[in-house]
Amino acid sequence: MASQTSAVTRRTVLGAAFGLGVAAASGCGGPAPAGPGDNGEASGTIRLLTPIFEGTEGQKTLEGLLATFKQQHPKVSVEVDYTTYGKLSEKLTTSIASGRPYDVMLMGVGWIPPFAAKGVLADLGEDQQELTSRFNKRVVDPGVYQGKVYALPIMLDTRFGYYRKDIFAEAGLSAAPKNFDELRDMGRKLTKREGGKLVRAGLDILANDLRQTFLPLLWANGGELFTPDGKVAFNSPAGVGALQFMTDVILTDKTEDFGFTAPGAATGVPLVQGRAAMMVGHNNVWLEIEKNAPDLIKDGKIGFFPIANTRPAMFQGGTLGTVSAKSQSPAAAKALVRYLADSDAALAACKQRGNVPALKALESSEYVKANPAVQFAMGNLDAAYSEGGVPAWLEIRGDFKAAIESALLGKKTPQQALDELAAKATEAMARG
């Protein structure tokens, strides 16, 4: 009898724990009906997760903006969680799994379809056409999923070519490269080695995130990430050609050595230091130049070019404001998103990050006039392309780096690397 009681007790405890585990798991995340206060006066305490406004300066900027927001909405309090784009998915996962997602989440282009498809985000109830009249269309569209607006654009960020005019002049070159062949030729001419050691890369393709270097090359070569009906397309001949170009830069032309630099390297940006003649870079490299080599700007030694081959192309991302479908204070959350997307807040955010304003009204601002990199980006938005577009994108994008590296290191051919990546991506999309 005693042993039977003991067995029942163990079963009960295990059953309870099992139930608790399943309940904990199944109760997490997921869409929820809109909470109270959706259409009422904005009030309550809301939590904001932001991957922009980094560092002390960024925090100071946001605090100033939120003080103004508080004056406009005295009944709303905002609790801020600062993070980076590198850690954003981690923060989002834990908050969603815990059943307490952030009320307002700032995220990138490409992030909206995966979250909107799973019901994580609230429909902002905005009119897409009206938004397009105020914002750049390039960042309105990524916030729209199945005809509904889930995100408001705050800023754009772009990747394009930079070159050092002084180094070009030394080598007898004057115009920026117009296609892949010219890029390779110039890269070879501008590369400098001493005793076999690379002291100046002719073309730096490693200082930028490898995926975000490959993609503009893919687009410039006439390729696409996915077909319009959502099938993998990056392993097309155009994609293989783009990766072959990168592989040739490293393995054939040796205009840069693998490991010479890396995104965010503590040693700084090689082009700024004269250790690279050309690079594929983020528009905010300009801030680095302003800070560490202002003479380059004063003497007009920095030039820009769109990556081009069969067509010109520029990578374009952006930061958008979203509201959680589970927010208990949706009116307050939406008010904050609208405020952050509005001119004062968006301009302050752009200034702090060296980014491109999404609001058309800011195109003629003093900030834009004083920043040639931003002007170049704005002038070439017709040639801009964005990543993402399929709900499984967040699962796929992390695998690009290893695939590209395996080609750059000669471990796989570009075709093999992209085919394997395409197979993985297809599996991820099939999982849904």
Site residues for another protein, 203-222, by CB under 8 A, read none
Q: Rounded to the nearest 5 degrees, what angle is found at the Cα of 89, between the Cα atoms of 86 and 95?
A: 135
Which of 7, 8, 20, 370 binds another protein (CB under 8 A)? It is 20
**Binder to another protein among 66, 76, 120, 422 (CB under 8 A)?**
120
User: ∠72-153-212 over CA atoms, to 5°?
Assistant: 145
Which one, 30 or 37, has the nearer CB to another protein? 30
CB of 106 to another protein, least distance (A): 17
Give min distance, CB of 27 to another protein, in A: 8
Closer of 120 and 320 to another protein (Cβ): 120
The amino acid sitting at 195 is G
Q: Is 318 within 8 Å of 139 (Cβ atoms)? A: yes
Beta strands in 36-189 (DSSP E): 44-50, 76-82, 104-108, 144-145, 148-149, 151-164
Closer to another protein by CB, 265 or 370: give it: 265
Indicate the SS3 state at residue 384: strand
Candidates 7, 8, 22, 251; binder of another protein (CB under 8 A) is 22
Determine if 195 is a binding residue for another protein (CB under 8 A): yes
Pairwise CA distance, residues 42 & 78, whole Å: 12
Q: Is the dihedral of CA 413, 419, 420, 421 positive or negative?
A: positive
Enumerate residues 256-315 that contact another protein by CB under 8 A: 257-260, 262, 266-267, 275
Strand-pairing partners, residue 276, are 201
Choices 57-65, 118-126, 141-149, 213-221; region in contact with another protein by CB under 8 A: 118-126
Q: Which residue in the set 405, 415, 416, 426 belongs to the binding site for another protein (CB under 8 A)?
A: 405
- Answer for which of 100, 118, 165, 192 binds another protein (CB under 8 A) is 118
Count, residues near another protein per rule CB under 8 A: 46
Query: Is residue 25 close enough to count as binding another protein by CB under 8 A?
Result: yes
Retrieve residue 99's tokens: 């059943």
Q: Which of 69, 115, 304, 315 binds another protein (CB under 8 A)?
A: 115
What's the closest the beta carbon of residue 77 comes to another protein, in angstroms? 27
Closest by alpha carbon to 286, among 308, 261, 305, 269? Answer: 269
In DSSP terms, which residues pair with 77 in a beta bridge? 45
Pick from 141, 288, 395, 419: which binds another protein (CB under 8 A)?
A: 395
- Give the SS3 label for residue 307: strand
15 binds another protein (CB under 8 A): no
Measured between its terminal Cα atoms, the distance across the chain in Å is 51
C-beta of 383: minimal distance to another protein in Å? 29
Q: Which stretch binds another protein (CB under 8 A): 17-25, 43-51, 75-83, 341-349?
A: 17-25
Cβ 412 to another protein shortest distance, Å: 8
Nearer to another protein, 378 or 390 (CB): 390
DSSP structure class, residue 235? T
Give yes or no for residue 401 binding another protein (CB under 8 A): yes
Q: 28: burial class by Cβ within 10 Å (0-12, 13-18, 19+)?
A: middle
Among 41, 63, 90, 181, binds another protein (CB under 8 A): 90
Q: What are phi and psi of 430, to 5 degrees?
A: -70, -35
Q: How many other C-beta atoms lie within 10 A of the C-beta of residue 274?
A: 16
- Residue 349 and residue 65: Cα distance in Å, rounded? 9
Contacts with another protein by CB under 8 A lie at 17-18, 20-22, 24-31, 89-90, 93-94, 96-97, 114-115, 118-120, 195-197, 257-260, 262, 266-267, 275, 394-395, 398, 401-402, 405-406, 409, 411, 420, 428
